[in-house]
Amino acid sequence: MDTKIVIVGAGYAGILTAKKLANRFRKNKGVSITIIDKNPFHTMLTELHEVAAGRVDESGIRISLKRVFAGRDVDVRQDLVTEIDFEKRTVIGSNERYEYDYLVLCAGSKPTYFGVSGAEEHAYTLWSYEDAILLKDRIPDMFRKAAGELDEEEKKRLLTFHVVGAGFTGVEMAGELAEYVPVLCDRYEIERELVSISVIDVLDRTVPTLPPKLSAKVERRLKKMGVRVLLNTRVVSIGEDFIEFGNGEDTTHERTGTVIWAAGIEAADITEKAAEDLEAAGRGRIKVDQYLRSVKDERVYVIGDNMHYIPPGEEHPVPQVVENCEHSAATAAHNIVCAVTGKGEMKVYKPSFHGIMVSLGGRYGVAHVGFPNRKFSLPSFLAMFVKHFINMVYFVQLLGWNKIFSYMKKEFFTIRHCRSFVGGHLSNRTPSFLLMPLRVWLGAVWVFEGIKKILEGWFVSPKLEGFFNGANQWYNNILNGTGGTADGASGATPAAADAESAAT
């Protein structure tokens, strides 16, 4: 009898689970693995700000699911899951129905607006591929409109950006934007003074998951980049062309061109709906046991952003970060294999996080990394290095070593406006026509050398004998002993023979 495993969501957690399961069940034809996502691609959510601010091409954060699962026995379905029937063990998509024996739920998150009036209608978010694309078009659009605007007040309004939320997403977006602004000012002949970027948060420091010292560093850097940082400030409402915020007593009404909402997330719709049948906890997440199974239905594994789990001895549930997706995927995959095969022992989920990294633009970052009990801060260059290193480790798991080169190319070497942390030269691109003389010269030399070799008789007698013989000898030397003594020995043999013949 067949066992059907269905994974809902092809985010960080979903993809890794599917890959691990496919590896373990490679030779077991009785197990089928299906992964369902509404997009035909996986999005690297942590890099959205890079696309939104025009630094990295959009193809850099989109990974084709076909490519991820090429050559693997995973059925990729493009569908939108609208309901899950836990009684009948059926996932209901808008196109199809999928029966399952084991379900992995990792549908990810969506922005939450905390009831701020007008936020959902008027603010831009940064939580999906679509969001990044909208902002990528919106930001230069504002500069373009401002360039053609005759009214000075309106021009300033168009050039005003408010980022709500000073967590990861907020500060990374603001930093990226601040770095983009000079490029845009130059392109559209606009003075830098007319542009204003603000970051607003209700808390008293930026990225509260960092230690206070690093939060202060982030704040200083943002200010240095020309970003106004408003802390202890609550956003009251957002309109088509304004934002209202206050610090308790006073409320400020400011005209604005673009509000980017980066203030918080909650579970995706389908997870919230599923949580009604299972056990919900904290903003639509689902409570799981130590093996990452729903506490209500042990055939349902909930991982990544969708899980709510407080490890023994801890106070807070595991955070909604990429590292949690990676670790929970590994544990869930292992436990599903145990459940399906009946062999081995289930693992208890013991996440161990190695820290967080925040990048402000393409050339500056702060990091607080290490092991659970011992973390340290890294200087900017190393922080950026670690950030990219972690992405690369992720890629190896996802796509194999091949992807590394294309990631490096996209993140380091083809960055626009030289905004790469490895510096201007390496991220620049040379029009190939400038290399024409070099290529023509190399080609000419190649043809000339070729003709010479043909005239020397390369078509009629083997000419690489010496070369391959040299290689043969080199291998023999290695096989027969060290190079030096082998040489001595081979040299000595005829001499000894000579001596022998002389003696006779």
Positions that interact with a second copy (CB under 8 A) = 38-41, 59, 64, 66, 78-80, 94-95, 129-130, 133, 137, 141, 144, 147-148, 150, 187, 189, 409, 412-414, 425-433, 435-436, 438
Q: How far is the CB of 150 from a second copy (least distance, A)?
A: 5
Could you tell me where the beta strands, DSSP code E, fall in 176-333?
196-200, 227-230, 234-238, 242-246, 251-255, 258-261, 265-267, 280-281, 285-287, 300-302, 307-308
Q: How far is the CB of 433 from a second copy (least distance, A)?
A: 5
Q: Decide whether 344 or 423 has the Cβ nearer to a second copy.
A: 423
Three-state secondary structure string covering 215-259: HHHHHHHHHHCCEEEECCCEEEEECCCEEEEECCCCEEEEECCEE
Q: How far is the CB of 131 from a second copy (least distance, A)?
A: 12
Q: Decide whether 131 or 219 has the Cβ nearer to a second copy.
A: 131
Q: Which amino acid is at 130?
A: E
Task: Identify whether the C-beta of residue 260 lies closer than 8 Å to the C-beta of residue 164.
Answer: yes
Task: Identify whether the C-beta of residue 84 lies closer than 8 Å to the C-beta of residue 272.
Answer: no
Contacts of residue 480, defined as CB under 8 A and 6 or more positions apart, other chains included, come to: 486, 489
Q: How far is the CB of 207 from a second copy (least distance, A)?
A: 31
**Residue 375: left if φ>0, alpha if ψ -120 to 50, beta else—which one?**
beta
Q: How far is the CB of 425 from a second copy (least distance, A)?
A: 6
Q: Decide whether 220 or 409 has the Cβ nearer to a second copy.
A: 409
Q: Decide whether 435 or 464 has the Cβ nearer to a second copy.
A: 435
Task: Identify whether the C-beta of residue 238 lies closer than 8 Å to the C-beta of residue 116.
Answer: yes
Q: How far is the CB of 2 from a second copy (least distance, A)?
A: 26
Q: Decide whether 182 or 211 has the Cβ nearer to a second copy.
A: 182
Q: How far is the CB of 11 from a second copy (least distance, A)?
A: 15
Specify the DSSP element, H or E, that contains 120. helix 119-122
Q: Decide whether 189 or 276 has the Cβ nearer to a second copy.
A: 189
Q: Decide whether 144 or 156 has the Cβ nearer to a second copy.
A: 144
Structure tokens at 312: 């023994």
**Residue 118: left if φ>0, alpha if ψ -120 to 50, beta else—which one?**
left
Q: Decide whether 24 or 156 has the Cβ nearer to a second copy.
A: 156
Q: How far is the CB of 95 from a second copy (least distance, A)?
A: 5
Q: Decide whether 436 or 464 has the Cβ nearer to a second copy.
A: 436
Task: Identify whether the C-beta of residue 112 lies closer than 8 Å to the C-beta of residue 266.
Answer: yes
Q: How far is the CB of 439 from a second copy (least distance, A)?
A: 9
Structure tokens at 42: 């996986």
Contacts of residue 52, defined as CB under 8 A and 6 or more positions apart, other chains included, come to: 126, 131, 132, 135, 136, 139, 173, 176
Q: Pairing relation of β-strands 258-261 and 265-267?
A: unpaired
Question: Residue 181 CB: number of other CB atoms within 10 A?
Answer: 23
